[in-house]
Chain A
Amino acid sequence: MASSTQIPALEIDELTRDYPGVRAVDAVSFAIEPGTVHCLVGENGAGKSTLVKMITGALAPSAGSMRVNGKTHNPTNPQEARDNGIATLFQELHVVDELTVRENLTLGLEAKRFGFLIRSDLDDRVVKTLAAIEPSIDPAVRVSSLSVAQKQIVEIARAASSGASVIIMDEPTAALSEREVERLFEVIRRLKDNGVTVIYISHKLEEIFTLGDIVTVLRDGKHIATKPLVKVEGRPELIEMMIGRTVAHNYVPRPNPPGDVVLTARGLTNHLLKNVSFDIRKGEIVGFYGLVGAGKTEIARAIFAADSYDGEIIFKSQPVGHTPKDALAAGIALVPEERRTQGLFTAMSIRENIPVMNLPRMSKGGVFRADKEERAAHEFVSRLRIATDSIEKQTEKLSGGNQQKVVLAKCLFSQAELLLLDEPTRGVDVGAKTEIYDIIKSLADQDNTVAIFSSELEEVLGICDRIFLLYDGQLRAGIRNGDNVDTAQILDLVTGGSMQEDAA
């Protein structure tokens, strides 16, 4: 690790940013040593993204200063930040699907003559950089044919080949499977070996312990600590620094025993699923765990009748119909993974969103009852503890966790008995995560049945009574959650291991 006499790759000094009425970043100071993976953690609203925006030139600081490699860094736009050697990998991918990998790598940096592109050593250089960090990507293919993880690596290669000394990665693993995450980590370690400094932002603490050298914790816009991860005593200490209180993550068996079988799936087969069969009992929380592409979303969509399949699904002794409308009528609701685009009317308020899945309950003789709607909105805002100053707030303006609560409220209002939650806490901060888990548990306690489709092992181990393990469209095992669960065995199964396990 770098010695303390080295010039920091990035030095942040008393950096402050004010928004009307809020101080988003409050006199934050810390230094980032070159050639390290420096993690930035904090709950949503802690000031991470505001800080990053100032570093990358998207926002101007209200006060304070920055230095990159000892030189004043005061970017007024992203281009200037990049010129100073700071590149950013955003949560949403910034590659052009319609262009080839090579065209993407040189985008904006092309050698040109009289308005035409000419070959230059840049083309060879970017291809070499890409080959060094991920040889399996063919530079001649269109980016649209790549997976999310590969697209990300293309972006990293672009940053690296443009000579960036600092690469900021904002939640880079949000859409990756665990195997892809490992691959990304290898790429990051290779970057580090080449002297590149990585600023790594993630909600996933395991990643930070696995990958990080140093961690900086922000809370409410203030700098809490910057210390080497080897000196952090595990997750509890980090979480405590982040939220100022300790959170228990362990599974507690729920008191009431599961009821009768409420849903039976037999031999589900479609373009991805291979002969998947399982039962779900009333009042249970079951988890479907697997890597991206294992078939989690496909099972959820099959139960919700959003995709067609061979095989049968029986819900409350009746076959589920052929459309989502039938599934809803039978009492099944799906909270999709892409809640912003598929689960919410983001331009509408909390009040307007809640009844949309069951409008008849809101109206009498075809006339809409505004008072009923308001009452329902107030009820759910307090019951699910949706943090908002008004039920009229546009859902777009809510945090990820609160948006998810509105989606849950929608499903609850529709009086669904079986809730299918696809990646229920993706992009949600630690505090709100715990609250969502509490909501899920209390729903199950009230005899609702919940199925969670997740690629976070910690999540399914934390709240599910039973866990179905998926790999490549097959259901590999069903296990009962408890003290004797072997995580090594689970990881082995979902990555294609052949270990035998009795179905629960």
Chain B
Amino acid sequence: MTKSFAVTGFLKDYYIYLVLIVLVALLASANLDQFPLFERGNFLYKRNIINILRVSAPILVICGAFTLLMVSGYIDLSVGSAMSLSAVVYAMLALNGVPFLPAFALTVLVGVLLGAINGFLVVRMRITPVIATLITLSLYKGIALLLVEDGTSAIKSGGGLKMPGWFNSYGRSGALLDLPASVWVAIAVTLALIVIQKRGVLGKYAAATGGNPTAAKLSGIKTGRVVFGLYVLVGISAALAGIARSSFMSLGDPLSGDGMELTAILVVLLGGTAFSGGEGKVQRSFIGALIIMCLTIGMLTIVPAYTQTLVIGAALLLAAATNHLVSRKGGRK
């Protein structure tokens, strides 16, 4: 009895890592010769892995903050629009001659502002999180579209203006171990958030707020501030995602973050975070993000692109079912 209990406890904590390993092993053993997407016909070939990671940089940088927000029992549907708007702002700054660091800092500041607006609507105006961030989803995307001039679909070189060389390298060129800076930023942000969740006041208060808001309040925790701070954190991570995406694509696309909110929710749920709050781990969401990205890209070799969404949904269903079976308490038949 106790032994099987320990085994299921182990499975519950680590099954997500097993899923990633199995998935990678499957992809590595597949014969990918016919697929130009994968060089040398081997999934584990270095350039293929680098490619996957740099395409994944946006979700990898978002998933950590998004996990903490969901652990606290809240949600941000505007994360994709905030990412798009940041991407557009960043591209505009670059195109108009602002150097890398100021452009980067200003864009992050935009992320702070967008997150703060969400936090204000939810905490101060007491609008239901889903509604509040659905409103800003529309607002942020609307502003992004407005910023892009008529007749063009994105902020890019042209009309006498040219993107500077550094614009592209942040998300594409190898900075260290052949991985671009965007991937390293995502890794650094995730590591920082893992530490914050484990040892930080914010991490504990997020769990308390999501686990039992009344208890948190009665313990003197200002849950409103915790939630506000987490929205700002998600805003910053959305800005970093926008920077990574626009840099990778060499343009500021006002639709580049479309659907990111769904991917983020999928990834966090896949990592075992409870939708009701209280539970969840940043590192597991990070693994969840890798799984989704491997699945998405790996699938291009097996199935047509238009079936991807369906297959991801099915994978999530499978993950949810596994999670349910593993975490279900024994006893009742």
| Chain A interface (Cβ < 8 Å from any Cβ of B) | 78-79, 82, 88, 92-99, 103, 107-110, 112, 115-117, 270-272, 307-308
> Can you identify 17 A-B contacts, CB atoms within 8 angstroms?
A94-B214, A94-B219, A96-B207, A96-B211, A97-B211, A97-B278, A98-B211, A98-B279, A99-B211, A108-B219, A112-B201, A115-B200, A115-B201, A116-B200, A117-B199, A271-B330, A272-B331
Q: Is the CB of A96 within 8 A of B332?
A: no
Contact A79 B278 (CB under 8 A): no
B169 to chain A, nearest CB (A): 33
Within 8 A of A (CB), among B294-333: 330-333
By a beta-carbon cutoff of 8 Å, the part of chain B in contact with chain A is 196, 199-202, 204, 207-208, 210-212, 214-221, 278-279, 330-333
Minimal beta-carbon separation of B19 from chain A (angstroms): 23
A82-B220, A96-B278, A97-B211 are known contacts; what are 12 more A-B pairs with Cβ within 8 Å? A93-B215, A96-B211, A97-B212, A99-B204, A99-B208, A107-B208, A107-B216, A108-B221, A110-B204, A117-B204, A271-B333, A272-B331
Q: Kindly list chain A residues whose C-beta atoms are within 8 Å of the C-beta of B279.
A: 98
* CA gap between A105 and B325 in the complex, in Å: 32
With most chain A CB atoms within 10 A of its CB, the pick from B199, B207, B220 is: B220
- Please, how many angstroms separate the alpha-carbon atoms of A82 and B220 in the complex? 9
Q: B331: which of A92, A108, A271 is its contact (CB, 8 Å)?
A: A271
Task: Using known A-B contacts A117-B204, A308-B333, determine if residue A95 contacts B199 with beta carbons closer than 8 Å.
Answer: no
Q: Is the beta-carbon distance between B219 and A117 smaller than 8 angstroms?
A: no
The 7 closest A-B pairs by CB, nearest first: A108-B219, A94-B215, A271-B331, A96-B211, A108-B220, A98-B211, A98-B278
Bound complex: CA of A262 vs CA of B20, how far in Å? 57
- CB-CB < 8 A to B202: which residues of A? 115
Q: How far is the CA of A96 from the CA of B214 in the complex (A)?
A: 9
A268 to chain B, nearest CB (A): 13
A492 to B217, CA, bound (A): 43
Q: Assess A94 versus B201: contact at CB under 8 Å? Given A78-B218, A108-B221.
A: no
In the complex, chain B residues whose CB is within 8 Å of the CB of A99? 204, 207-208, 211
- Whole-angstrom distance between the alpha carbons of A79 and B217 in the complex? 9
Give, as a whole number of angstroms, the nearest-CB distance from B90 to chain A: 28
Of all chain A residues, the one with the shortest Cβ separation from B217 is A78
The interface residues of chain B lying within 8 Å CB-to-CB of A271 are 330-333
Known A-B contacts A78-B218, A98-B211, A108-B221; A103 and B201 likewise in contact (beta carbons under 8 Å): no
Known: A98-B278, A112-B201, A117-B200. A79 touches B220 (CB 8 A): yes
Q: Which of A97, A108, A272, A308 has the most CB of B within 10 A?
A: A108
B329 closest partner in A (C-beta): A271
User: Interface on chain A toward B: helix, strand, loop, or mixed SS?
Assistant: loop
Q: Given the complex of chains A and B, what is the CA–CA distance between A271 and B328 in angstroms?
A: 14
A272 to B332, CA, bound (A): 9
Distance in angstroms from A322 CB to nearest chain B CB is 12
Q: Which residue on A lies nearest to B209, using beta carbons?
A: A96
How far in angstroms is the closest Cβ of chain A from B195? Answer: 8
B199 touches A107 (CB 8 A): no
Bound-complex Cα distance A94 to B330 (A): 27
Q: A96-B207, A271-B331 are in contact. Are A116 and B201 (CB under 8 A)?
A: yes
A109 to B333 CA separation, bound complex (whole angstroms): 43
Chain A neighbourhood of B207, CB < 8 A: 96, 98-99
Chain B proximity of A212: nearest CB distance (Å): 26
CA distance A270 to B156 in the complex (A): 68
* CB atoms of B219 and A107 under 8 A apart: yes
B216: chain A residues at CB < 8 Å are: 96, 107-108
Q: CB < 8 Å: which of B200, B215, B217 contacts A95?
A: B215
A110-B204 Cα distance, complex, nearest whole Å = 10
In the bound complex, do residue A96 and residue B208 qualify as a contact, i.e. CB atoms below 8 Å apart? yes
C-alpha spacing A499/B220, complex, angstroms: 51
Bound Cα distance from A270 to B199, whole angstroms: 43
* A272 neighbours in B (Cβ, 8 Å): 331
Alpha-carbon distance between A277 and B218 when the two chains are bound, in angstroms: 47
User: Using Cβ atoms and an 8 Å threshold, which residues of chain B touch A109?
Assistant: 219-220
In the complex, are the beta carbons of A94 and B218 less than 8 A apart?
Answer: yes
Report B124 CB to chain A, min CB distance, Å: 18
Which of chain B's residues have a CB closer than 8 A to the CB of A82? Answer: 220
Q: Which residue of the partner chain, among B208, B218, B330, B332, contacts A307 with CB atoms under 8 Å?
A: B332
How far apart are the CA atoms of A115 and B208 in the complex, in Å?
A: 16
Inter-chain CA distance A271–B333, complex, in Å, is 8
A96 touches B212 (CB 8 A): yes
B201 & A110 in contact (Cβ 8 Å cutoff): yes
Give the complex CA separation of A116 and B192 in angstroms.
12
Q: Which of B196, B212, B216 has the most CB atoms of chain A within a 10 A radius of its CB?
A: B212
Whole-angstrom distance between the alpha carbons of A112 and B208 in the complex? Answer: 16
Question: For the complex, what is the distance from the CA of A114 to the CA of B199, rounded to whole Å?
Answer: 11
Give every chain A residue within 8 A of B200 (Cβ-Cβ): 115-117
Query: Are A116 and B199 closer than 8 Å at their CB atoms?
Result: yes
Residue of B nearest to A87 (CB): B218
Bound form: Cα–Cα A116–B214 in Å: 23
On chain B, the residues within 8 Å of A110 by CB distance are 201, 204
Do A107 and B211 touch (CB < 8 A)? no
Q: A270–B333 Cα gap in the complex (Å)?
A: 8
List, in ascending order, chain B residues with CB within 8 A of A103's CB: 204
Residues of B within 8 A of A92 (CB): 214
Q: For A79, what are the chain B residues with a Cβ–Cβ distance below 8 Å?
A: 220
Decide yes or no: A95 and B220 within 8 Å by CB, A110-B204, A115-B201, A307-B332 being known contacts.
no
List the B side residues contacting A270 at CB < 8 Å.
332-333
State how many angstroms separate the Cβ of B155 from the closest Cβ of chain A.
36
- Complex-state Cα separation, A117 to B199, whole angstroms: 6
Chain B: CB-nearest residue to A56: B218
